[in-house]
Structure formats: structure tokens, C-alpha cells
Amino acid sequence: MTDLMKAYQHCESIIKEHSKTFYKAFMLLPKEKKQAVWAVYAFCRQVDDIVDEGTDPKEELFVFKQSFAEFLDGNLPSTDLMWTALQDVFRKYEMDVQAFHDMVTGQEMDLYKKHYYTEEEVLHYSYHVASTVGLMLLPILAPNNKDALREDAIALGQAMQITNILRDIGEDLERGRIYFPIEKLEQAGYSVAELEMHIVNDKFISVWEDMAEEAEKLYDQAMSSLDLYPLHSRTPVKGAAYLYRAILGSIRKKGYSVFKTKHYVSSEEKREIISQI
């Protein structure tokens, strides 16, 4: 087995372990494009893990940024197989380097900012941590239409990140983080203290639904230009969007229990969604 094949297998094992939804959606791509997606995911995952699990995240992120600068200069910064795979991706596709930088900036926000007050702040954060991933993938998924698809790819990332936020309220609270816009809660007459006490009432649900509606509008926007993707990319993008959007329905069905339960779309539901696409 060549080093490059080993590198791609390493990236595949990372996405397979950490994001079954994306893995399932992008399995439908041709092999070369599928492998490129795995490599981009492995890059993003590494940054995410540094911020969430690193022993000295600020220092580790600084080192990672130096490694990325070295990589962009044409060198392999370490023996980490992710860089080997990513180097091959950068050779084959016209990658959006700024999107990679913006994603790292977004993850870095988590080291300095724990509370979000307005919907605008949430959308700004969501662009950096999620929309950037879509922009990284566009040269792989739709090389001829990447500029025309840019705004809708940003919308899809924001929709998915808002979905994450609406699903992970309890988990984020445990880390001292509130991505749910505090200003909106307070305007509805619901306090941060109530959030910390895990109170689900009509006021909480009204704000949750307000944010879910924003996510659903963004999903609709993202899907409006689906025909600009080549046929082989269309189904994976649609699949990822539909699988993620279904999380909102799952939360509603389970009575908005977002403080103690991590909501997933079951394997059976995933199969059903994919079969309808």
C-alpha cells in the first residue's frame, strides 16, 4: 500500500469515527472526490480536537497554525498522515485557502468567547466554524461553479451549525458555553439562570423554534441552487442537508429535551431519508 493510500485511509477512519452523518452522505461520491472530502474533514477535526480537548489549546493551536503556514509553503510539517493526504488534495483542486484560515479563526473563538448575545453573533460564528467547511469542499464538489455556489454554501453551513447549537445546548452549558442567543431569550422573558436549570417551557420553546425557523430558511436557500452541482455531488450535498435538517424534527418529537439527550437521526431514518433523495 502506498503512503498516499495509507494517508487517505487514516483520514477515512477519522470521519467514520466522528461523523457518521457526513460519512454516509459523502460515501456516494466518486472515489477521488470522496478521499479529498475525508482529508478536509481530518484537517477540521484536528483543529476542533485541539480547541475542545487540548491540554494547552492556545499553544497547540499556535503550533498548528505554524504547521499550516509551512504546509502552504510546500513542505510537509510533520509525519501526520493528514498533511500527506491534504497535499494531494491541494495538488488536484483549486482550494480556497482563506476558508481554511477562517475555519481556524472560528475554532479559536471558542478559546476567548463563551457567550453569544445576538443572532448576528451566532451567524458570524457559524460562518467561521461551519460555512468555511462548505467553502473548502466547493472546489472538490463543484469546481466549475464554486463562485456561483458560494453564498448558498455559506447558508448551508450556517443552517447546520444552528442545528448543532439547538441540539447541543446542554453539552455546551457543561463547557460553560452558550451559543443560544441570550438577547433573544431575555426578550422572551427567559433568563440564563433558567437555561442553567434546564427549564423547558413555552418561552424557551418559542426562542428555540425561532432559531429553528432561521435554520430552515437557510436550508431552503442552500437547496435552491442544487442544480449547479454536478450530478455526482448533488446527492451527497442534498443528503447531508436532509440528514442534518432531520435532527430538528427529532428534537421536536422528543419534547425539546436538549439538556440531557444528544439527538441523533437513527440509522433506519437515515436510510429512509437517503432512499428518498
Q: 210-227, pLDDT tens digit by residue?
A: 999 999 999 999 999 999
Choose one of 34, 58, 92: the last residue of a domain. Answer: 92
Please answer whether residues 76 and 87 qualify as being in contact, where contact means their C-beta atoms are separated by less than 8 angstroms: yes
> Is the model's pLDDT at 51 over the cut of 70?
yes
**For residue 266, how far is the Cα from the chain centroid?**
19
Would you give the end-to-end CA distance of the chain in angstroms?
Answer: 35
57 and 87: one domain?
A: yes
Q: How far apart are CA 135 and CA 244, in angstroms?
A: 18
CB 153 within 8 A of CB 239: no
pLDDT at 97 over 90: yes
Give the number of domains in the chain.
Answer: 2
Identify whether residues 145 and 72 lie together within a single domain. Answer: no
Residue 77: predicted pLDDT: 85
Which of 62, 92, 122 delimits the end of a domain? 92
Sequential DSSP letters for 20-76: HHHHHHHTTS-HHHHHHHHHHHHHHHHHHHHHHH-SSHHHHHHHHHHHHHHHHTT--
Distance of CA 180 to the CA centre of its chain: 17
Q: Based on the domain organization, do 208 and 261 belong to the same domain?
A: yes
The DSSP symbol for 130 reads: I
- Low-confidence winner among 40-49, 127-136, 190-199, 254-263 (lowest mean pLDDT): 254-263
Instruction: Using the Cα atoms of residue 144, residue 130, residue 102 and residue 91 in order, give the sign of their dihedral.
Output: negative
Residues 274 and 182 in one domain: yes
Residues 112 and 244 in one domain: yes
In terms of domains, do 66 and 119 share one? no
pLDDT at position 203, please? 97
**Does residue 128 share a domain with residue 255?**
yes
Domain that holds residue 82: 1-92
pLDDT at 273 over 70: no
pLDDT band at 162 (very low <50, low <70, confident <90, very high): very high
77 and 104 housed in the same domain: no
Q: For residue 178, what pLDDT band results from cuts at 50, 70 and 90?
A: very high
Based on the domain organization, do 250 and 164 belong to the same domain? Answer: yes
Q: What percentage of residues in the chain have a pLDDT greater than 90?
A: 77
32, 101: one domain: no
Considering the entire predicted model, what is its pTM? 0.92
Are residues 174 and 222 both part of a single domain?
yes
Write down which residue in 64, 92, 120 finishes a domain.
92
Q: What is the CATH number of the domain that holds 271?
A: 1.10.600.10
147 and 196, same domain (yes or no): yes
